[in-house]
Amino acid sequence: MFVTSSKKTQQIIELITGLIVIVVFITAVTFAIIGHGQRNDGGYSLKASFEHIDGLDVGSDVKLAGVTVGQVTGQKVNPKDYKATVVFTVRPDVSLPTDTAAVITSDSLLGGKYIDLSPGGDEKVLKPNQFLTHTQGSISLQELLSKFIFSVTDNMSKTDNKTTGDKPSDKLQ
């Protein structure tokens, strides 16, 4: 079985193209892994305590009025109250009042979570490593859907009982 020179050239070109695609893919994955959470524009650290931080990761954005002003740098569980303590940085040019609120929210239904800051009206400003006292944790989509489903089925059951005149206990027998 002889391979003609044009077929051999085509095979070499396909091999080189495949290798280039693999190298580009590996490079992109490496930059994504190494670069995740590595943006550090300096700034100062703040802390906040939340009931739930579902979906909030180290490297997630911290936004003020829709503008990214920092990022999450750490998270742990406080053994005293079992709440999640989140550490995040804020750019040095952003001064926040002591009554600033922090809410964990998302860009879209399936989007990643971030901390949204809402400054208050206090004259005093937060100092590095201070805790934000006004917080609202992450809202679970699964929890919201289950509450909605139970609410709808409960309302349907009540409507059904009114139209048939049955009592809920009558249906169980």
Q: Domain residues of the chain, as ranges?
A: 1-31, 44-143
pTM of the predicted model as reported, rounded to 2 decimal places:
0.60
Positions in the chain short of pLDDT 50: 37-38
3-state secondary structure the chain: CCCCHHHHHHHHHHHHHHHHHHHHHHHHHHHHHHHCCCCCCCCEEEEEEECCCCCCCCCCEEEECCEEEEEEEEEEECCCCCCEEEEEEECCCCCCECCCEEEEEECCCCCCEEEEEECCCCCCECCCCCEECEEECCCCHHHHHHHHHHHHHHHHHHHHHHHHCCCHHHHHC
pLDDT digits (tens, 9 = 90+) for 2-42: 556 788 889 899 999 999 999 998 888 877 666 554 455 57
